[in-house]
């Protein structure tokens, strides 16, 4: 199959309820959404956007390479010649618009919240609370942004104003994380900065309300500085029942083995680690919630981080994926708030005591649900706000009381800019996936955040940073945010992969990837699998292909409407689809039960993202398997070979001989991993790793951004 034209593969196949569709961009002109008008938008990526914006245009990236056809696991990587030399046309007009109808058929529709109602209701309710009715102008700003988004999402264009936003989630009880809302917006001015694009969080803004001249534009400023688009999506409410709130999955057989991982704490006078929850002396209600959440034993990052946060120290913590970093910051923050008390709910300005930021909407919502779970039965109110949702909705959540504000950066800055929250009482600033938050994509936003009017200085607040990866260059940037005596907790090795994930690298040329994927997935049956690809369009394309091959697949990426992304995630989480094809938007933080496999269809040239991607499986002591396709003809794959060898060997995984050969023949091409693994704490200087496969410090190595330039979904929130 790999040799055929992708167009022809996308002729009408079996019609699954989740088969994506590729609607024709009939509104494209009407909205003047062309390359020249999209400055700052993600489609400026030259590689990711070919001659057409309508799907997979001819000669576009996927399958466009000449390459060794090498499509068998265990095949002799170098022995297979067979340059096909043909340009695969990964684009397909046929792929568009064929399957519009049935994919949503499975969802029950629940009434309730319609955006218009929300706005009216909010307008009225907010009258006495400092909201001006002029914000109802949101109600009039329709269409453009949503329509543009719709045309570009692979799964059918959908007007966000259809407002049946509760249809899928409301009917799903159970696991507390099901309400992950995702969306995608574009058009912000700041996002036009070099090399990084498209993150463009949709931050609703009424220009008439702007009080500060922040150097960023909200999405609703419109793409040409004209009438802004608006977000009308109102996400479904989180679960209300105790069962729903405390739903969790079981720790795995290797949970106890976490204790064997070496932990290092650097910095002056760290408080001693605790060994049990009892030693933390947490408030009774919090302890009850912890046990209802199924936590009986601390993970290493929790053992060290909880006392550090309780001791009011700043912290940078690095621990492997799925090892409980979220609770490591939430529990001590909540404990402090419960012990010290929080300000009574004010009808005027809300002044949260804690702000937590994360790079994606799904992740921040997941963190919010955890915060809500641990704060259950207390007076502490966590709130979540993120782009892609109606700004009124965000504001209304805040005005109902907000002690812990969980937010994506764009929406947070917009709300601060509009003076809808005050920062005077802020005591905790948490950056989850901190290396991502400080990298060039979000770094400028984070700087704006810490220099926002009213933001307590780093001496006055506690700043906490968590991630599974912390490249040295990011550690340096982080110092600007942290007190000089911050502590650095490292569980295992900085940037190391989770050892519960079996990592398999197989040599596959571009032309063989599709066949190999189908073969693997068909062999896996209904086992839950995430497939990571480089581009949004490829995600949709592969999803269509998989559905045609009778694999129940859905996709999540930055071009899908938020509602669709929520549905996709829920369908995956609750078993309606067992395969989720994703861009890096789903690489970090997502905690989905029972993901048994990760398949990396396209390697990113950034090893950190590899570590996060494979970390979607093998969580919380459970085991998982990650299969990575490696194309030896692909320069990016070759670039990351050394780092990959290092990650594999550090995690005691088998390193294929052919990969080692590539790694060491790839002179002059290094990924950022060289510095990532060089040290524990950059304040200690570079520590060389004796006998390591990769040098700890690679002279002349490039300092990469967290994202490859041709990863067209490098921007997520
Ligand atoms: N002490 C514990 N006991 C039992 N389960 C736990 C414990 N700590 C965390 N968990 C569970 O483990 C899972 C992974 O936790 P979490 O999402 O916080 O990991 P993480 O380290 O933040 O991962 P990532 O690096 O991917 O963001 C969650 O389902 C969480 O509820």
Q: What's the CATH number where 583 sits?
A: 3.40.50.300
Q: Are 463 and 601 in the same domain?
A: no
Atom from ligand 1 closest to the CA of residue 296: 3
Q: Are 515 and 472 in the same domain?
A: no
**Residue 625, pLDDT score:** 98
Residue 202 lies in a domain: no
Residue 17 lies in a domain: no
Atom from ligand 1 closest to the CA of residue 297: 1
**Residue 545 alpha carbon to ligand 1 centre in Å:** 33
Ligand 1 contacts CB of residue 495 (under 6 A): no
Ligand 1 contacts CB of residue 248 (under 6 A): yes
Ligand 1 contacts CB of residue 394 (under 6 A): no
Q: Are 367 and 391 in the same domain?
A: yes
**Residue 240 alpha carbon to ligand 1 centre in Å:** 22
**Residue 524 alpha carbon to ligand 1 centre in Å:** 26
Q: Indicate the burial class of 708 (C-beta count within 10 angstroms; 0-12, 13-18, 19 or more).
A: buried
Q: How many CB atoms lie within 10 A of CB 215?
A: 9
Instruction: Label each residue of 142-163 as H, E or C.
Output: CCHHHHHHHHHCCCCCCCHHHC
Task: Tell me which of 470, 491, 512 is where a domain ends.
Answer: 491
Ligand 1 contacts CB of residue 589 (under 6 A): yes
**Residue 323 alpha carbon to ligand 1 centre in Å:** 5
**Residue 152, pLDDT score:** 31
Atom from ligand 1 closest to the CA of residue 616: 26
Q: Are 540 and 486 in the same domain?
A: no
Signed CA dihedral, 644, 42, 713, 199: sign only: positive
Q: Are 426 and 526 in the same domain?
A: no
Q: Which protein residue's CA is at the shortest distance from atom 4 of ligand 1?
A: 295
**Residue 594 alpha carbon to ligand 1 centre in Å:** 13
**Residue 87, pLDDT score:** 32
Q: 334-354: b or e for each residue (b if 16 or more CB lie within 10 Å)?
A: bbbbbeeebeeeeeeebbbbb
Residue 209 lies in a domain: no
Atom from ligand 1 closest to the CA of residue 591: 17
User: What CA–CA distance (Å, rounded) separates 424 from 71?
Assistant: 59
Query: Of the residues 254, 291, 324, 584, which should be mutated to test ligand 1's pocket, given the most ligand atoms within 8 Å of the CB?
Result: 324
Q: Are 549 and 471 in the same domain?
A: no
Residue 267 lies in a domain: yes
**Residue 328 alpha carbon to ligand 1 centre in Å:** 9
**Residue 377, pLDDT score:** 97
- Chain center to CA of 260: 29
Q: Which residues of the chain have pLDDT under 70?
A: 1-229, 666-680, 684-717
**Residue 620 alpha carbon to ligand 1 centre in Å:** 6
Report the relative pairing of strands 487-491 and 263-266 from DSSP bridges. antiparallel
| CA-wise closest residue to 203 among 411, 446, 412 | 411
Ligand 1 contacts CB of residue 325 (under 6 A): yes
Q: Which protein residue's CA is at the shortest distance from atom 10 of ligand 1?
A: 324
**Residue 229, pLDDT score:** 58
Task: Tell me which of 473, 491, 509 is where a domain ends.
Answer: 491
Q: Which protein residue's CA is at the shortest distance from atom 12 of ligand 1?
A: 620
Q: Are 427 and 354 in the same domain?
A: yes
User: What CA–CA distance (Å, rounded) separates 310 from 412?
Assistant: 26
- Chain center to CA of 472: 21
Ligand 1 contacts CB of residue 615 (under 6 A): yes
**Residue 326 alpha carbon to ligand 1 centre in Å:** 6
Maximum distance among all Cα pairs of the chain, rounded to whole angstroms: 75
Based on the structure, what is the number of domains in the chain?
2
User: What CA–CA distance (Å, rounded) separates 159 from 561?
Assistant: 9
Q: State pLDDT tens for residues 130-180.
A: 333 333 323 333 333 333 233 233 333 333 333 333 333 333 233 333 333
Range of the domain at 583: 501-665
Ligand 1 contacts CB of residue 289 (under 6 A): no
Atom from ligand 1 closest to the CA of residue 294: 4
Ligand 1 contacts CB of residue 590 (under 6 A): no
Instruction: Please give the helix or strand (H or E) that residue 638 lies within, else none.
Output: helix 635-650
**Residue 169 alpha carbon to ligand 1 centre in Å:** 23
**Residue 23, pLDDT score:** 36
**Residue 136, pLDDT score:** 30
Atom from ligand 1 closest to the CA of residue 432: 27
Q: Are 481 and 515 in the same domain?
A: no
Instruction: Say what the pTM is.
Output: 0.72
Q: State pLDDT tens for residues 4-25.
A: 233 333 333 332 334 343 333 3
Q: Are 470 and 505 in the same domain?
A: no
Q: Are 528 and 408 in the same domain?
A: no
Q: Are 255 and 286 in the same domain?
A: yes
Ligand 1 contacts CB of residue 305 (under 6 A): no
Query: Of the residues 180, 250, 261, 322, which should be mutated to test ligand 1's pocket, given the most ligand atoms within 8 Å of the CB?
Result: 322
**Residue 348, pLDDT score:** 81
Q: Which protein residue's CA is at the shortest distance from atom 23 of ligand 1?
A: 322
**Residue 173 alpha carbon to ligand 1 centre in Å:** 21
Ligand 1 contacts CB of residue 177 (under 6 A): no
Q: Are 555 and 454 in the same domain?
A: no
């Amino acid at each position: 199959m790999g040799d055929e034209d992708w167009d022809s593969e996308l002729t009408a196949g079996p019609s699954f309820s989740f088969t994506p569709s590729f609607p024709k961009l009939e509104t494209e002109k009407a909205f003047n959404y062309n390359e020249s008008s999209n400055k700052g938008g993600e489609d400026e990526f030259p590689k990711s956007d070919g001659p057409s914006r309508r799907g997979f245009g001819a000669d576009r990236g996927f399958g466009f390479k000449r390459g060794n056809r090498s499509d068998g696991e265990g095949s002799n990587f170098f022995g297979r010649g067979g340059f096909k030399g043909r340009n695969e046309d990964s684009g397909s007009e046929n792929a568009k618009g064929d399957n519009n109808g049935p994919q949503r058929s499975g969802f029950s529709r629940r009434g309730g919240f319609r955006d218009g109602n929300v706005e009216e209701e909010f307008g009225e309710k907010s009258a006495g609370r400092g909201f001006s009715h002029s914000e109802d102008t949101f109600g009039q700003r329709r269409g453009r942004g949503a329509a543009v988004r719709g045309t570009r999402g692979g799964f059918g264009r959908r007007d966000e104003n259809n407002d049946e936003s509760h249809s899928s989630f409301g009917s799903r009880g159970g696991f507390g994380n099901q309400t992950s809302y995702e969306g995608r917006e574009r058009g912000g001015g700041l996002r036009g900065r070099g090399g990084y694009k498209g993150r463009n969080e949709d931050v609703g803004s009424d220009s008439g309300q702007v009080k500060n001249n922040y150097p960023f534009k909200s999405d609703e400023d419109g793409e040409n500085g004209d009438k802004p688009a608006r977000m009308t999506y109102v996400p479904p409410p989180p679960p209300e029942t105790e069962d729903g709130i405390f739903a969790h999955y079981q720790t795995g057989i290797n949970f106890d083995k976490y204790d064997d991982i070496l932990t290092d704490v650097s910095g002056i006078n760290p408080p001693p680690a605790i060994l049990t929850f009892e030693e933390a002396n947490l408030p009774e209600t919090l302890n009850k919630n912890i046990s209802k959440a199924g936590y009986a034993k601390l993970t290493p990052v929790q053992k060290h981080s909880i006392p550090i946060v309780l001791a009011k120290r700043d912290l940078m913590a690095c621990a492997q994926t799925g090892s409980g970093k979220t609770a490591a910051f939430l529990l001590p923050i909540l404990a402090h708030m419960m012990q010290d008390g929080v300000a009574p709910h004010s009808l005027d300005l809300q002044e949260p005591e804690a702000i937590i930021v994360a790079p994606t909407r799904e992740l921040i919502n997941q963190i919010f649900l955890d915060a809500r779970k641990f704060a259950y039965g207390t007076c502490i109110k966590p709130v979540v706000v993120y782009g892609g949702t109606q700004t009124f909705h965000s504001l209304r959540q805040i005005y109902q009381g907000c002690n812990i504000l969980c937010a994506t950066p764009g929406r947070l800055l917009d709300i601060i800019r509009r003076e809808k929250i005050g920062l005077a009482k802020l005591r905790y600033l948490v950056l989850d996936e901190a290396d991502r938050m400080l990298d060039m994509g979000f770094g400028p936003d984070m700087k704006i955040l810490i220099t926002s009017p009213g933001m307590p200085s780093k001496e006055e607040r506690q700043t906490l940073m968590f991630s599974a990866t912390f490249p040295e260059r990011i550690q340096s940037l982080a110092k600007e945010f942290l007190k000089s005596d911050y502590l650095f907790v490292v569980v295992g090795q900085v940037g190391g992969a989770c050892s519960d994930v079996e990592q398999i690298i197989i040599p596959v040329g571009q032309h063989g990837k599709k066949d190999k994927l189908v073969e693997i997935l068909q062999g896996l049956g209904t086992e839950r699998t995430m497939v990571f690809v480089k581009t949004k369009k490829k995600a949709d394309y592969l999803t269509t292909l998989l559905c045609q091959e009778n694999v129940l697949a859905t996709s999540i990426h930055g071009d899908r409407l938020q509602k669709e992304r929520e549905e996709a995630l829920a369908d995956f989480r609750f078993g309606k689809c067992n395969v989720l094809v994703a861009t890096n938007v789903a690489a970090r933080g997502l905690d989905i039960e029972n993901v048994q496999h990760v398949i990396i269809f396209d390697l990113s040239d950034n090893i950190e993202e590899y570590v996060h991607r494979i970390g979607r499986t093998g969580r919380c002591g459970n085991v998982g398997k990650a299969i990575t396709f490696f194309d030896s003809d692909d320069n990016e794959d070759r670039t990351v070979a050394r780092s990959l060898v290092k990650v594999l060997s550090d995690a005691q995984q088998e390193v294929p001989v052919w990969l080692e050969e590539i790694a060491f023949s790839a002179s002059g091409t290094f990924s950022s991993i060289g510095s990532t693994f060089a040290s524990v704490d950059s304040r200690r200087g570079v520590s060389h790793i004796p006998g390591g496969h990769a040098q700890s410090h690679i002279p002349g190595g490039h300092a990469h951004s967290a994202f490859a330039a041709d990863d067209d979904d490098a921007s997520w929130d």
